[in-house]
Amino acid sequence: MGDKMITSTPVHPQANGQAESRNKIIINNLKKKLGSKKGKWAEELPFVLWADTTTTKNATSQTPFSLVFGSEMIIPTARTSLQNIEANNEILSQDIDTIDESSDIAKIRMAVYQQKIAKSYNKNIRIRRFQVGDLVLRKAFQNTTNLTDGKLAPKWEGPYKIDSEAGKGAYKLVTMNLEPIPRAWNAIYLKIYFI
């Protein structure tokens, strides 16, 4: 069929960053709208989605709706009261002509915005470097900890020893008994173990 399957696991939520980012915004807006009435979220969701879809985004300086459909969203009552079929057809044909141009402008704005964010992020980033033989702790994930421990579960497990560098910022680990740990581990999930 030619379909490409991409897996996304809870261990790597950054694999679907755009969806996670949008969901975070929607959840925060729902929390603000609901207050103490958390059980009413399903009733408020359409209003929150409407607000999110019609809000101008910093990265593109346009609303998500206008990027997809080429025009601004109009509520149904305003649409029927302002409806003029001839004028509507003319405006739609103009919008169709400008939709590609708007999309190109949005892409340029998005690229500039992403470069600005990357520059800001990279200014403060510290790359962790380890040497072969260093003792490290590995970040503990839900699937490697005891579920009954809950919030009291350890955040780090180990110690492990750096066996070799597996690539840029990734390391192969072995246990203290020199048993290899499956797959390489990114340095963001490792920290030095002090004896």
- CB atoms under 10 Å from CB of 117, counted, come to 12
- pLDDT band of 23, cuts 50, 70, 90: confident
Q: At what angle do helices 17-34 and 41-53 cross, to 10 degrees?
A: 120
Q: Please give the share of the chain, as a percent, with pLDDT higher than 90.
A: 17
Q: What's the pLDDT tens digit per position in 25-54?
A: 888 888 888 877 777 888 888 888 888 888
How does strand 190-192 pair with strand 185-186? unpaired
**Tell me, what's the pLDDT at 9?**
53
**Tell me, what's the pLDDT at 77?**
64
pLDDT at 152 over 80: no
Count H helices, E strands: the chain? 5, 5
- pLDDT band of 87, cuts 50, 70, 90: confident
Distance CA 183, CA 143 (A): 16
- The predicted model gives 180-190 an average pLDDT of 90
Backbone angles phi and psi of 137, in degrees to 5: -105, 145
**Tell me, what's the pLDDT at 174?**
94
The verdict on domain 135-192 having CATH code 2.30.30 is: yes
In sequence order, what are the residues at sequence separation of 6 or more whose Cβ sits closer than 8 angstroms to the Cβ of residue 35?
none
Whole-structure pTM over 0.95, yes or no?
no
Domain map (residue ranges) of the chain: 14-124, 135-192
The first and second tokens of residue 68, run together, are 């997809």
pLDDT at 163 over 90: yes
- Nearest CA to 26 among 7, 2, 45? 45
pLDDT at 71 over 90: no
Q: Are 138 and 157 in contact (CB under 8 A)?
A: yes
**Tell me, what's the pLDDT at 56?**
86
**Across all residues in the chain, what is the average pLDDT?**
80
DSSP class of residue 97?
H
**Tell me, what's the pLDDT at 160?**
94
